[in-house]
Amino acid sequence: MPLVRIDIKKHQDPTFAKRVGKLVYAAMHSAIDVPENDNFQILAEHDENHFIYDPTFMGINRTDGLVIIQITLMEGRTTEKKKLLYKTIAESLNTELAVRLEDVFINLVEVKRENWSFGNGIGQFAV
């Protein structure tokens, strides 16, 4: 049950963020077994004053093509599954949209099952 936030610098192609989102969802579906139709995303584009990053943190050379992806999901996936997700996302963005591997920044936020309400004001997994 992930919630995905994708942030990019304003892009000349108005469909770019949505195409990134489709590839991220496909990667989650294949790498960490996210169910079909479990796709909730917030896509945001920012001007240069609202998209701040360090271009060389940890020895990785980033450009304005940086794609920041934050995925909030239920806890419990193995480190191997997470590493597969990182690789699958980065490689698909590189292959399909020519995003440099160095420009794919991913953050996973794991939460307990009871921290979700999918509608109707109830916690569907709260026991």
Q: pLDDT tens digits, residue range 63-122?
A: 999 999 999 999 999 999 999 999 999 999 999 999 999 999 999 999 998 888 788 888
Task: State how far the Cα of 87 lies from the Cα of 18, in Å rounded to an integer.
Answer: 20
> Looking at domain 3-115, which CATH architecture does it have?
2-Layer Sandwich (3.30)
Which are the catalytic amino acids? 2
What's the token pair of residue 109?
A: 């936020």
Task: Quickly tell me which residue has 């997994």 as its tokens.
Answer: 125
pTM of the model: 0.93
